[in-house]
Amino acid sequence: MTARGFEPTRERPQGRAAPSPPPEGVEKTWGGPASSRERPQGRAAPSPPPEGVEKTWGGPASSREALAAALRAVRPDAYAATRNRLDGAVTGLSPYITHGMLDAAWLLRWLRRRHRLPCGHKLVQELGWRAYFRHVRRWQGDAMLESLHAGPLPDAMYARRLPDDLLRGCTGVPVIDQAVRGLYRDGWLHNHARLWLASYAVHLRKVHWRTGADWMFGHLLDGDLASNHLSWQWVAGTASSKPYLFDAANVAHHAPQSWRSPGSVLDQAREALEALARSPIDVGPGHAGAAAVEIPALLAAPPASSDFASPDPSAVAGRRVWLMHPWCLRRPPPGRLVVAACAEEFHAAWPWSEARWRFVAAPIGRHATLRWHAPAAAIATALRAAAQVETIDDAHLPPAWRAWARPASSGFAEPDRPCASFSAWWKLVQRQAGQGAADGAASRFSP
């Protein structure tokens, strides 16, 4: 997505022609909570949450306070200036957005009201990248899970299994070993770390991008299939004009001392790294480095402690039901029987870490009277006994449940035709937003 080789990680190219790299920060591309100082759970805040948080937040009070603290800590100008650094002023909001605890459209309105941000602000564009990736998924469907076009090498030349030293964080390349440890420990990585990890896996270790994307998705608290997998495709060069590569100097510029990797395979000239990317040879692990870490298990079903059961039509017969699914964990409307549902086949295909299951279980435990884990069709059959069923749509939602879902808004206009690049999508959104402003629209972000 760029013609500038290593340089894009120094200046985020939002609004440029795609092949620009996915922008930094957590709302967007990869979606991780953005800073080691901003954990998505466990932070208490003494002051009340910003207006509107209580209306959508579905989690326990302590987590609601953590979200409120993260919102109060948003500093858009500092974000724009420092988002490329691993210690930059990023927001940590993406797990809440991904799981529907924080409404993206509400967040855009809140940013406008509190910070008076124009449409072209970097933080607004970060949210735009997330909306754009979902736009691509809307038009591509499951085709986005396959290479969109050829990369540096034929697909068959890439391995479908991650090397054990990479999985265990003992490659001998400090930036990679630190990234793997952070992913397992925290369930998130700064966008730069995700780019570096993906590039190393695909171009130097010859792992197929899909294998790496599936692995990372399972361990992220905020993994979104469109954002995560299309970002891996961009790195691989199968959704961009050239592969994304990085070197040791790039790491030194953006990361702390413990991540820096002088003398490693990354400490080479650009031309040498480009040649390695187009070679079928796996460079293998470096010199002995960090000790191997334990690989967290990925679970295809909620932990037993979550108390999920099989669907029971009699429990919802004649009732007004609010369907709470993993991407709609907002506070339910009053007067509804809340049924939390997890589709068996989705999680069999896309298992999650226990940490992510716990993150999702918190708001479910607070609000859901019934908790069902079964095939999507079986859950749909049971729900038909209800007088009414409502929920919010999401790209991950099983088709069998969509009849009850009302559309979710990203806060941006959704073009009625596919856009081949972020820049084309962004120009269209801005044009429509400008027309909306000319017509007296209240929001400067949506028409």
> What is the tens place of the pLDDT at every residue in 221-248?
999 999 999 999 999 999 988 999 999 9
Confidence label for 151 from pLDDT (cuts 50, 70 and 90): very high
Question: What's the chain look like in SS3?
Answer: CCCCCCHHHCCCCCCCCCCCCCCCCCCCCCCCCCECCECCCCCCCCCCCCCCHHHHCCCCHHHHHHHHHHHHCCCHHHHHHHCCCCCCCCCCCHHHHHCCCCCHHHHHHHHHHHHCCCCCCHHHHHHHHHHHHHHHHHHHHHHHHCCCCCCCCCHHHCECCCCHHHHCCCCCCHHHHHHHHHHHHHCCCCHHHHHHHHHHHHHHCCECHHHHHHHHHHHCCCCCHHHHHHHHHHHHCCCCCCCCCCCHHHHHHHCCHHHCCCCCCCCCCHHHHHHHHCCCCCCCCCCCCCCCCCCCCEECCCCHHHCCECCCHHHHCCCEEEEECCCCCCCCCCCCEEEEEEEHHHHHHCCEEHHHHHHHHHHHHHHCCEEEEECHHHHHHHHCCCCEEEEECCCCCCHHHHHHEECCCCCCCCCCCCCCCHHHHHHHHHHHHHHHHHCCCCCCCCC
Residue 162 φ/ψ, nearest 5 degrees = -75, 140
Task: Give whichever of 265-274, 301-310, 424-433 has the largest mean pLDDT.
Answer: 265-274
Mean pLDDT of the chain: 84
Cα 74 from Cα 297, distance rounded (Å): 33
How high is the pLDDT of residue 351? 98
pLDDT at 270 over 50: yes
155-277 topology per CATH? DNA Cyclobutane Dipyrimidine Photolyase, subunit A; domain 3 (1.10.579)
How high is the pLDDT of residue 68? 83
User: CB atoms < 10 A from the CB of 358, how many?
Assistant: 18
Question: Stretch 70-90: mean pLDDT, rounded?
Answer: 90
How high is the pLDDT of residue 163? 97
Question: Stretch 313-319: mean pLDDT, rounded?
Answer: 98
pLDDT at 439 over 70: no
Confidence label for 287 from pLDDT (cuts 50, 70 and 90): confident
Confidence label for 61 from pLDDT (cuts 50, 70 and 90): low
Cα 203 from Cα 236, distance rounded (Å): 7
User: CB atoms < 10 A from the CB of 184, how many?
Assistant: 18
Confidence label for 299 from pLDDT (cuts 50, 70 and 90): very high
For helices 209-219 and 174-186, what crossing angle results, to 10°? 40
> What is the tens place of the pLDDT at every residue in 10-50?
233 333 333 333 333 333 334 333 333 333 333 333 344 44
Stronger pLDDT, 171 or 442, i.e. the higher one: 171
Question: Stretch 84-100: mean pLDDT, rounded?
Answer: 90
pLDDT at 84 over 70: yes
Confidence label for 276 from pLDDT (cuts 50, 70 and 90): very high
Confidence label for 434 from pLDDT (cuts 50, 70 and 90): low
Stronger pLDDT, 150 or 119, i.e. the higher one: 150
How high is the pLDDT of residue 53? 45
Confidence label for 119 from pLDDT (cuts 50, 70 and 90): confident
- Closest CA relative to residue 298, chosen from 183, 143, 389: 183
Domain map (residue ranges) of the chain: 7-145, 155-277, 299-406
pLDDT at 9 over 60: no
The CATH number, out of the four listed (3.40.1350, 3.30.1150, 3.30.460, 3.40.50), of the domain defined by the range 299-406: 3.40.50
Confidence label for 62 from pLDDT (cuts 50, 70 and 90): low
pLDDT at 112 over 80: yes
Residue 370 φ/ψ, nearest 5 degrees = -120, 145
Confidence label for 432 from pLDDT (cuts 50, 70 and 90): confident
How high is the pLDDT of residue 367? 94
Q: Torsion over CA of 226, 232, 237 and 239, rounded to 10 degrees? A: 0
pLDDT at 172 over 70: yes
**Token representation of residue 169:** 């964080």
